[in-house]
Structure 1
């Protein structure tokens, strides 16, 4: 019974604990000679997962900055859009809007090309009707560009990639 519990515990160890396993299995084998051969073979089977054969010690991680964020409420909009030091593109969209689903990723790609010189806020008009009314959004998708809390440009509908790139470049002042 005890060897079953030990075997289950060995097989369900998290990856971080497996790196310590060779010393753990050596301690089991040396301190307890009364363990059955199945437990020893289980420990030896798991020992092939030693630190030299498991995942690399350091992972390649590239910090990726998100180019867009969802607006939660009016206070969030004021804090992250109106008071922003960077120019902000506001994508007024809806979940049921087909053109919005096409424009959103293309607009994010155009913003990502600018490498942090502009950000993008997403406003769902069904959740934030007051913001849509305040900025005169009558159709979706509508994109409004703001710099320093002031509206500098806007468009309604879908644009191709070149037009989106030029729109974003114009907003940041290039």
Structure 2
């Protein structure tokens, strides 16, 4: 709480004034109760460095699993993929999808890059769901060289999912 009180004057200053001297009315000298005449200058690079966003993952799941953003993204990352791709058609409101998704991600991560996994939200990408005849969720398609080679609807246990992926990868 004390830190918030000390930082409040600095956080309310407009960006244009950040390089100007700052005086804090909250700082008191140790000897007297009068405000100190300390002047601070924030370093100029602090105010001029653009904010950049970097994403990284610490688990294997995110290296092989990705969300489809649009039709072009699906074309580039799934249909043109040199590796086999498992496509998970799901919805946010679907309870079984929330169970199957993590299981499938875990099994795909165990394959160490031999198989990729694309996640397609049917509410956001109804055109893809219609194109691939998805009538219920969760629906999982297996694609190799741009062609659907296998499909299942509903929840499967881990052994069945492993068998599904082994069949997709071949001998």
Aligned to 1:43: none
**Is 1:68 paired with 2:50?**
no
How many residues get paired? 120
TM-score, normalised via structure 1 length = 0.64
Distance (Å, rounded) in 1 between the aligned partners of 2:129 and 2:148: 14
Between 119-128 and 62-71, report the one with greater CA deviation.
62-71
Runs of 4+ in structure 1 off by over 6 angstroms are none
Distance (Å, rounded) in 2 between the aligned partners of 1:107 and 1:142: 12
Unpaired segments of 5 or more residues in structure 1?
1-7, 9-35, 37-61
**Is 1:131 paired with 2:124?**
no
Task: Give RMSD over aligned pairs.
Answer: 2.2
**Is 1:168 paired with 2:165?**
yes
Distance (Å, rounded) in 1 between the aligned partners of 2:59 and 2:94: 28
Aligned to 1:148: 145
Distance (Å, rounded) in 1 between the aligned partners of 2:148 and 2:130: 15
TM-score, normalised via structure 2 length = 0.65
Query: Which of structures 1 and 2 has the bigger CA Rg?
Result: 1
Distance (Å, rounded) in 1 between the aligned partners of 2:135 and 2:58: 38
Unpaired segments of 5 or more residues in structure 2?
1-5, 7-29, 31-56
